[in-house]
Homo-oligomer: A and B are copies of this chain.
Amino acid sequence: MIKQLLLAPGPTPVPARVRAAMAKPVIHHRTPQFGEIFERVRGGLKELFATENDVLVLSSSGTGAMEASVVNCFAPGDEVLVVNGGKFGERWLKLADMYSLKPIELKVEWGAAVRVEQVEQAIAEHPDLRGILIQGSETSTTTCHPVEEIARLTRDRDILLAVDGITAVGVYELPMDEWGVDILVTGSQKAMMMPPGLAAIALSDRAWERSKSVCQPRFYFDLEKERAGQAKNSTAYTPAISLIYALDESLAMMREEGFPELYARHDRCARATRAGCEALGLRLLSPDSPSPAATGVFVPDGVDGKKLHGYLRDQMGVAFAGGQDQLKGKILRIAHIGYIDAFDTITAIAALEMALLHFGHDVQLGRGVGAAQEILMAALPSR
């Protein structure tokens, strides 16, 4: 008997409560009964995004919502700055290319965050800039970009700030309205503790205004059409009803825990993991601007990263994510988001120690765990 523990930065583990909600009989989506659920979901999402604007639900992966951002808010020829510091920065770039925007690429080393001055300079050099496309947390490199600081640069200019918050929304505090983010996107299989299949997107007033003048073909991802439908607690097209049940339940769980507590938990598990890895002498992928969503750690020399990852998953039941593209086989990514707690984090470090030892790496068992425990202890009630 090996219990399976999913510790990837998406999909993340789905609590039994949420899975049970999905098993409920399907009701028709054009009924007052569904409308009641959907209204509650819409309220919860506004709280999660910290916005007064509508948060629209799409039945797609997060990539669908990224596409929706581009086709609704940017026109062919629009100059946009794309912060490309990983696989998902690249995705913005591909989307911008596909829809004939004029992307200016700001390339950032994988594992590093963009510096605010770089963005400032790019803005100065490109007076016609219409938008900035960035990740709140770049999942492929487990790195956070300084969204709050960048929003300070964009909010007083006619530059829309589009943030892929797929591993940021619900992960750390990212109050959309307060910071002045114009487009914020997330996916269901991350902090929301749900299976994949839903995305959510919110636009600022000025992003809605901009969308009126944008002429791009769009149909399934037509946000104006969705907004009209969702204002009446319905959707433009048939929604993934069972996943809406799941979202309703997961939003309830997030509210019960409290958003500040939830953000603190992610941060604590992330710090504990980094401390554990460092105590084992492992090198972190993103030491300077680490994401609380996941910790990327380099596989030590002499250990086959692909085998290590497979062994952990198939023989030990602990499924981390590996590296993507140029980092394939070189790193492990250990997730902290969603339904992951202190002892899952300890399991992660313990499993990593044991697997490294198995593959002949010199490890003192318990050393990384001890360092993680030090940090996790702090959250225990004082008596």
Binding site for B on A (CB under 8 A): 4, 6, 8, 10-14, 19-20, 22-29, 31, 59-64, 67, 94-95, 98-100, 187, 189, 195-197, 216-221, 237-243, 313, 319, 321
Contact = CB atoms under 8 A, between A and B. Distances in A.
A243 B240 contact: yes
19 contacts: A6-B25, A11-B27, A13-B25, A19-B22, A19-B242, A20-B23, A22-B23, A22-B242, A23-B23, A31-B319, A59-B59, A63-B238, A98-B217, A187-B238, A189-B241, A195-B240, A196-B240, A216-B217, A242-B242
Contacts of A64: 59-60, 220, 237
A319 B26 CA distance: 11
Contact of A98 (B13, B218, B239): B218
- Most B CB within 10 A of own CB, among A67, A94, A197, A313: A197
Given A14-B25, A196-B240, A219 B319 contact: no
Given A98-B218, A219-B98, A25 B4 contact: yes
B95 A219 contact: yes
Contact of A239 (B26, B61, B241): B61
B22 A219 contact: no
A246 B137 CA distance: 31
A166 to B, nearest CB: 10
Contacts of A217: 98-100, 216-217
B94 A240 contact: no
Q: Which of A11, A221, A239 has the most CB of B within 10 A?
A: A11
Given A22-B242, A94-B219, A197-B243, 9 more contacts: A6-B28, A11-B28, A19-B25, A26-B189, A59-B61, A59-B197, A99-B217, A242-B242, A242-B243
